[in-house]
Structure 1
Amino acid sequence: MSNVEQEADNRKRNSEEIDVVLKNQQMVRVQQMATVEWIHRSAKTKIQQMICEVGDCKTMSLNKLERHRFAFAIRISRRILRWQ
């Protein structure tokens, strides 16, 4: 094998190795992007759950306030009826 053939063979091997390295780097980037995407999705769903919980709490406390207001109105009306 002549020097020219050896150099051509070495270049071919180097380019194949570089291709493998680039493919591996690309796969790692894709995996990292998928992981980041999953984290964003799970964080978004967690935030949405927290917002819904806060909304439910507000609804429950509003219902509780309405019940108390209604009970207070009944008590007042009963007292008024007793005085008459």
Structure 2
Amino acid sequence: MAVLDADEWDEKLKQLAGRTEADPAVVREGVRRLNAGLLTTRDMRLVLLSTGHLTGWQPPRRAVTRTVIHQASRSTSPVGASGITRAAIR
């Protein structure tokens, strides 16, 4: 998969809602961005809302959920106000 800028990545995530199968390259890019701390609040929302029906996205979805919970427990500001921190996918 070519390197996507933030807006291109956003569009790619939006397209996931209409998919019937997970694209392994997009899943890998999501994991890469998550581990690099590059997922924005918008990205996290799209991962959680657009990929529930795609089985290949279950590990990244769990990692995003853990990250959101972790951020909420550490901050009094709205979740994701400063972006996403690194999260390990297990």
| TM-score under structure 2 length normalisation | 0.24
Write 1 or 2 for the structure with the bigger share of helix.
Answer: 1
- Larger relative CO (CA 8 A, sep 6+): 1 or 2? 2
TM-score (norm 1): 0.26
Higher Rg: 1
